[in-house]
Amino acid sequence: MSAQRRGPSPERLHITLPPWTDCSGVAIRLDVGAAVSREARDEVRRAVAEEHLATLPDQATWIWSDGSAEGGVASGGSGALITLPSGEERTTRTPAGAVCSSTRAELVAMRAALEEVQQLEDATSATPLVLCTDSQAALATLATGAGEQRTTLGAEIWRLLLAAPDRPTWLQWVPAHCGLPGNERADELAKKASSLPQAAAPVDVRSLTKAVDRAASKAWRDRWPDSFFRRIMRDRFPTPVLNETREDAVNVHQLRAGHWGLSTSYLHRIGRHPTPTCQQCEDLKCPAALCLVCREEADTPEHVLLHCPCLAGMRLRLFGNIHPDATRLRDGGAVAALARGCLRHREPAGYGRP
Ligand SMILES: [Zn+2]
Ligand SMILES: [Zn+2]
């Protein structure tokens, strides 16, 4: 298959920056976040941000960058507004990948803007640089340091930041959507960039493995038939049954699947528990399907685990309540204990296994 048909390969980091790289010329500032609450009104957040921005040099190259990703996972778009000390403006718009996280889109925006600045200015420029972003996650990724970056993108951003060693640089966090003009314009550029062709935009390994994980769990959930246990788990994955004997684990899995091989109603349904009045049927009201312990109703998983009166004491011990919330049955250990309890109740009465 040609490389073109396959699309760009996932980005991988081959050379990290050495751990002793001096990053002291780059200040990462999250001070605005600490000074104003997320819930504050837009005007208040904007005023606090402007107050902090006023402490940064005016005679500088200013970058406002932003990223967007549909649902935080797809169609990444990255945009930036660059204002040079002369007042001249430049903008960048970059697709960030068909599969992409919001943080990655933010980082792609920063890289594109820094590359653009490098093109426009002398590499040895000492003009201060201020980069404003509303992504705390992107800044947190960079704040771990130049030598600690685990992605090509993070390492490239640090290389660009350190290319002009005499340039004082600030990476400033600003609150989003509160009317800061630079942030609004970057947001617009990022949104427009998300509709650019994505075919040539590389996808990183992390976004790719997360996408595969999402697709596999969705396919798994879509195939899970509606059942008592599915309703208990809602959209969660059942946890593995690790600390039980093999016999207990089989009980747990069969109860979860709604086909407990030791249940009278199940055996009657498949013709393995015939009685003189009924050889086989699917009717849960049939006397041959009744719970061998209480004889009140069919011994479905729901009955055994939640309703059988003979196991009330055990439920009280396990859950502190004889009518526990069904979600407590997410615990495989509790299901195993109730199955054992049910079987123990049968044996002394001489019923044993059906
Ligand atoms: Zn029957
Ligand atoms: Zn019962």
* Domains annotated on the chain, with CATH: 3-210 (3.30.420.10), 228-346 (no CATH)
The number of the ligand nearest the C-alpha atom of 346 reads 2
- Alpha helices (H) along the chain: 3-6, 31-35, 42-53, 102-120, 136-143, 152-161, 181-193, 205-223, 228-233, 246-257, 264-269, 301-302, 312-319, 332-346
User: How many Å lie between the centroid of ligand 1 and the Cα of residue 268?
Assistant: 7
CA–CA gap between residue 324 and residue 315 (Å, rounded): 7
List, as own/partner pairs, every contact residues 277-282 make where C-beta atoms lie below 8 angstroms and the sequence separation is at least 24, other chains included: none
User: How many Å lie between the centroid of ligand 2 and the Cα of residue 145?
Assistant: 62
Q: Across residues 254-283, what is the average pLDDT?
A: 93
User: How many Å lie between the centroid of ligand 1 and the Cα of residue 285?
Assistant: 8
pLDDT band at 348 (very low <50, low <70, confident <90, very high): low
Contact of 230 with 179, CB cutoff 8 Å: no
Whether pLDDT at 288 is above 60? yes
Closest to 85 measured CA to CA, from 26, 126, 29:
126
Please tell me the predicted confidence (pLDDT) of residue 353: 52
pLDDT higher for 221 or 331? 331
Judging by DSSP bridges, how do beta strands 61-70 and 74-83 pair with one another? Answer: antiparallel
User: How many Å lie between the centroid of ligand 1 and the Cα of residue 289?
Assistant: 7
Q: What are residue 132's DSSP bridge partners?
A: 64, 172
User: How many Å lie between the centroid of ligand 2 and the Cα of residue 294?
Assistant: 4
User: How many Å lie between the centroid of ligand 1 and the Cα of residue 274?
Assistant: 8
User: How many Å lie between the centroid of ligand 2 and the Cα of residue 315?
Assistant: 13
- Please identify every residue whose CB atom is under 5 Å from ligand 1, which is an ion: 278, 281, 286, 288
Closest to 304 measured CA to CA, from 320, 288, 287, 291:
291
Please tell me the predicted confidence (pLDDT) of residue 5: 43
Contact of 12 with 152, CB cutoff 8 Å: yes
The number of the ligand nearest the C-alpha atom of 280 reads 1
Please tell me the predicted confidence (pLDDT) of residue 175: 94
What is the tens place of the pLDDT at every residue in 89-132? Answer: 999 999 999 989 999 999 999 999 999 999 988 767 889 999 99
Whether pLDDT at 32 is above 90? no
